[in-house]
Structure 1
Amino acid sequence: MKVEAWLFGITTIFLVLVTPAYWFITDASDTGADWTGTSALVMTTLLTAMVTLYLGFHAQRMDPRPEDRTDGEIADGAGELGFFPPYSWWPFWCACTLGIIVLALAVTQWWMVVLGFALGVLALSGWIFEYYRGEHAH
């Protein structure tokens, strides 16, 4: 994880340098500073700094992965990598219910918002509990 921490650290340094420059360049125009872009860059800088700190702390506390070691071999990374879920229709239904809610808010039909939330509870419950029953039950 040290490589990932370094990549995010370099990105953070870049954003720390670019954000004041962007603010200064947009402030020099006749219309004043572009607060939207400046605040977006500040938030992006803070988020990359947060990820850098998280990855840096975890890189110090965990054993080095084979790709982090200089003497690591390809065979060192062999074995089970974890559980990867098979196909699932539940994310599609969750996205559809979110689409219903957003559409209902756009056309201000509150009954559709309630319907969307009800369908959303069903879809989210199906997604959460899909490995407790059916074909992929554990």
Structure 2
Amino acid sequence: MRTTSRIFLILMVFFLVVACAYGIVTSRYELLGLEPMGFAAILMAGGMSGMISAVTGINARRHPDRPEDDESAPVSADAGIQGSFAPYSWWPLWTAIAAAMVFLGVAAGWWISGLGAVVAIYGITGWVMEFNRGTYAH
């Protein structure tokens, strides 16, 4: 996890440098109202990279003996159960469609985002409650 933390730290610095350069280069266009979102979007990408770096760094300090941090560890060192996943679940598809609709709505029209939010509520609720309806009742 230390390597992951460092990679996202490098990405954060990169995005912050690019955001500053982008803000300087496009500052004359922002005065005309032509480019209002680019600087903020790149700045948020840097912030999100920083958050991922912080979380993985905290976890690296909390769990220092992870197999991915040991260069001489065999592949089987990280074997075992990785999680519980439904093999034939359709709920991730509905949730992905909802996310696509929400992001499309930002570009095409806010009413699409509203429909996407409704589909998101349906998809996330189904996904969370998937195992709470009895045996084999997908």
On whether the aligned pair clears a TM of 0.5, the verdict is yes
Q: Which residue of 2 aligns with 1:12?
A: 12
Contact 1:26 1:32 in 2 (8 A): no
Unaligned runs of at least 5 residues, structure 2: none
Alignment: residue pair count: 127
Give the alignment partner of residue 111 of structure 2, picking from 105, 116, 121: 105
What TM-score, normalized to structure 1? 0.68
Query: Equivalents in 2 of 1:74, 1:23: separation in Å?
Result: 45
Residue identity over aligned pairs, in percent, reads 27
Work out which of the two has the higher radius of gyration on C-alpha atoms and give 1 or 2.
Answer: 1
Residue 49 of structure 1: CA displacement?
Answer: 1.2
The RMSD of aligned alpha carbons is 3.6
* 1:130 Cα deviation from its structure 2 partner: 1.9
**What TM-score, normalized to structure 2?**
0.68
Q: Which has the higher helix share?
A: 2
| Residue segments in structure 1 that go unaligned for 5+ positions in a row | none
1:67 to partner: Cα distance: 1.7
Q: Is the 8 A contact 1:9 1:52 kept in 2?
A: yes
SS state of the match for residue 7, structure 2?
Answer: helix
**Superposition pairs for residues 1-138 of structure 1, below 5 Å?**
1-27=1-27, 34-93=35-94, 105=111, 117=118, 124-132=124-132, 133-135=134-136
